[in-house]
Structure 1
Amino acid sequence: MDKHENSNRNNHFWKSFFSGVLGSVVTVLVVALLVFNIPVVQMQGEDGVTEEASQTLVDFESAIIGAVEKTSDAVVSVSNYQYVPSQETIFSYYSGIELGEPEDNLTLVGQGSGVVYKIDGDSAYVVTNNHVIDGAQEVSIIMADGEVVQAEIIGADEISDLAVLRVSAEHITTVVEFADSDAIQVGSLAIAIGSPLGSEFSSSVTQGIVSGLERIVPVDADGDGNTDYDMNLLQTDAAINPGNSGGALVNKDGQLIGINSSKLSSTQIEGMGFAIPSNDVASIIEQLEANGEVIRPVLGVATYNLNEIALSSRVDVLKLEEDMVDGVVVNQVIPNSSAEKGGVERYDVIVGMNDVAITNLSDLRKELYKYSIGETVTLEVIREGETMQLELVLEAGNNTQRSYGN
């Protein structure tokens, strides 16, 4: 092989190498431009990009700035004050010494965010998360301009994790506009506004996209390790941090698409935040304003998951097959409840509601809460090995019935 041939081969190798690298770079750039909806630019010598691509970048930035300007003044910080006994107070309790009322020792135990959604006369209404104000003896609101006002808790709901507060409208300048969350598409722009880590970082803004719709997130309300109910949430990769709870998730037009509620946190997880869809928020706050609570139908039964029952009891008492573990066992029927009126008996195993399979308590509550008071549902139950259908007219139930949660 002569030197000329070797040189040609080397030149061919390097040309191929650089062509491949250039092709990869171009491919990556094109994909990035498509993802961010930026037109593929045309090179204009040393001038760089066309005016069209430059304008698209400006428009994208302007959309975010415009949305924030429209909404940010409606996003507030929410402070939860509770009575935390001091050592001196504990001593006074046992010694009989009077040190004043508990309200004199209110302590800030947590902060979150909230969104002003309505002005009615001299009052303004703020929606936040139930867990932000849970247990509060006093709640205050810090406006976007730093003004601090006292808030009244109008209503709260643990299941939806929403609460409504009322404040003086004197310092309110902006209310949020609700979007139709049913029209949201995956990939839509999502902007989170709130107070991560507290009011020191109020009006913080993070930006991402809507990563998913109708995400079912299990909730253990009583901390017993079992799922009590499931929440239907929007997923976003906009940064959601402690303190963002109760804050706004808005679209490119500054309209509310969700109330930020939670995130998955782990060394292996990044960018998985969740928000309560705006349509769900609108429905719940209307009920909280009217009643101070969300009144849901109850069956009027105390129950256990079938898979928690010992095999011997499933076979000998409930008369089930050994391999059957899906269903909800009725341990008690509350007198004068929907269940009693519909013929439900102790040890019935609920396996379906209106042709939807019920495998556990979470399924039962999820399905039950789809219906309103006064509607009729058909329960499929197994009683001593026999399957039967029972029709129940759903009622609100009294406090005793509601305390069972089913």
Structure 2
Amino acid sequence: MKITKKISTAALLLVCFMLAGGDLAVMAKSSTGGVKSTAAAVSTVPAIVQKLTPSVVGIIGEAADSQQDQASGMNDSGSAGVPAGSYNLAHGTGVIIKADGWIITNAHVVNGILDPTVVTSSGKSYSVDKSYIDEASDIALVHIKATGLKPASLAPAGRAIQVGEKVVALGTPVSFSLRGSATEGIVSGLNRAVDASYKLIQTDAAINPGNSGGPLLNMKGEVIGINSMKYEAVGVENLGFSIPYDTVRYVIQQLFAYGEVRRPALGLELQEGWSAEIGLPSDDPLTVTRVDSPSAIKAGIKAGDKIYRLNNTSVTSIVDVNELLKKYKPGQTVTLWMQSGGDIVKRSLVLTLNDSESDAGSDE
């Protein structure tokens, strides 16, 4: 699905991070992941840190844009003074999800580092030999040739997350020498739609440059989110966001099965209503601005039509549609309740494969 969405100017700047050249140079992204949960209840922060630190890794390497930066005398933050030939490193964080070397991190971490090296909590270093990337969710899987690793546990399907519950974030903030750092906070909000394809968890646990790919953990020691981004502006504190475990599971299952996410799409370009764009409660429909797929044309959908419901669920934002489509596969049929030509109509639509948002994996 192609997205048409106006981005309004605001005092808050949404940024994501990695560390480059030893300074706060790259304002990129950050996230986390895990696997199926068998975790026993853990009730204290020290116990969680002790239990999960062996499952968290640092990922480091030359910044992907370092050659361009060195040639221009500029580092990734745009400040001058990086001499030609100096190191320009970027780093992030990852979470071990299989004992045989599979690790979840952010797509932007993998994209931002040339020939990444994974460093475990014990100090062992490994080259990444495979990577599979999904930029739409900012999730990536990387593999190292290692055995006997300690995997983290992804929260089980249906695990309730509550606003106000205590959480812990682990990662590699600011300097690679700070691997295994922990911060504590709470879940500040749920279902946040902030510059992302899917809904996010909001947390006040400190998320700093280099935390990209690190886990957000509940008090059972389960991974409930991927620390992905934060707001940064003068006077703004502790507004971080994590990719929820259900989205992580959806993505990694497909990456393991296909090496890419075979994401279903309506085959329509949609425009959100004004209220949805600025975050007000809204029942405004989505407006079709362009019809892209043959199946949508066959269904009789036209530019200017307005979509109110998808399979009996109200949709007012692009994120609403993306969340609902996680339950389906390309080729399946959904029902749209729409206004077309002044009439309320029901259209049956065969979902198409959204190639534009599926990124094939690559072996390195």
The TM-score normalised by the length of structure 1 is 0.63
1:174 aligns to what? Answer: 150
Change (3 A) 1:367 1:280: closer
Change (3 A) 1:251 1:339: same
Change (3 A) 1:284 1:389: same
2:290 aligns to what? Answer: 331
1:216 aligns to what? Answer: 192
Give 1 or 2: higher strand fraction. Answer: 2
**Structure 2 alignment gaps of length 5 or more:** 1-41, 73-84, 275-282, 360-364
2:234 aligns to what? Answer: 267
**1:357 Cα deviation from its structure 2 partner:** 4.1
**1:331 Cα deviation from its structure 2 partner:** 2.4
**1:156 Cα deviation from its structure 2 partner:** 1.6
Change (3 A) 1:169 1:62: same
**1:145 Cα deviation from its structure 2 partner:** 2.6
Letter in 2 for 1:331: R
1:79 aligns to what? Answer: 60
CA distance in 2, matches of 1:191, 1:327: 37
- Which aligned pairs between 1:218-297 and structure 2 lie closer than 5 A? 218-219=194-195, 229=197, 231-297=198-264
**1:167 Cα deviation from its structure 2 partner:** 0.4
Asked if 2 retains the 8 angstrom alpha-carbon contact of 1:328 and 1:361, the reply is no
Asked if 2 retains the 8 angstrom alpha-carbon contact of 1:328 and 1:359, the reply is no
Deviates more, 1:105-114 or 1:240-249: 105-114
**1:136 Cα deviation from its structure 2 partner:** 4.2
**1:118 Cα deviation from its structure 2 partner:** 0.3
**1:203 Cα deviation from its structure 2 partner:** 0.7
Asked if 2 retains the 8 angstrom alpha-carbon contact of 1:263 and 1:274, the reply is yes
Structure 1 residue 373 corresponds to structure 2 residue 330: yes
**1:297 Cα deviation from its structure 2 partner:** 0.9
**Structure 1 alignment gaps of length 5 or more:** 1-60, 91-104, 221-228, 308-323
Letter in 2 for 1:339: A
Asked if 2 retains the 8 angstrom alpha-carbon contact of 1:178 and 1:256, the reply is yes
Give 1 or 2: higher helix fraction. Answer: 1
**1:400 Cα deviation from its structure 2 partner:** 6.8
**1:150 Cα deviation from its structure 2 partner:** 1.0
**1:370 Cα deviation from its structure 2 partner:** 4.5
- The number of equivalent residue pairs is 296
CA distance in 2, matches of 1:361, 1:381: 15
Alignment partner of 1:246: what SS?
coil
- Which digits, 9 at most, give the CA deviation of each residue in 1:77-112, with x for residues without a partner? 12254254359989xxxxxxxxxxxxxx99755211
Asked if 1 retains the 8 angstrom alpha-carbon contact of 2:126 and 2:144, the reply is yes
Asked if 2 retains the 8 angstrom alpha-carbon contact of 1:142 and 1:199, the reply is no
Change (3 A) 1:340 1:109: farther
1:189 aligns to what? Answer: 166
The structure whose RCO (Cα within 8 Å, separation 6+) is larger is 2
- Which digits, 9 at most, give the CA deviation of each residue in 1:6-61, with x for residues without a partner? xxxxxxxxxxxxxxxxxxxxxxxxxxxxxxxxxxxxxxxxxxxxxxxxxxxxxxx9
Asked if 1 retains the 8 angstrom alpha-carbon contact of 2:202 and 2:242, the reply is yes
- Which digits, 9 at most, give the CA deviation of each residue in 1:232-251, with x for residues without a partner? 23333221112112112223
2:181 aligns to what? Answer: 204
Asked if 1 retains the 8 angstrom alpha-carbon contact of 2:167 and 2:218, the reply is yes
User: Highest CA radius of gyration, 1 or 2?
Assistant: 1
CA distance in 2, matches of 1:62, 1:192: 15
The TM-score normalised by the length of structure 2 is 0.69
Which of 69, 72, 91 is matched with 1:111 structurally?
Answer: 91
Query: Cα RMSD between the aligned structures?
Result: 3.4
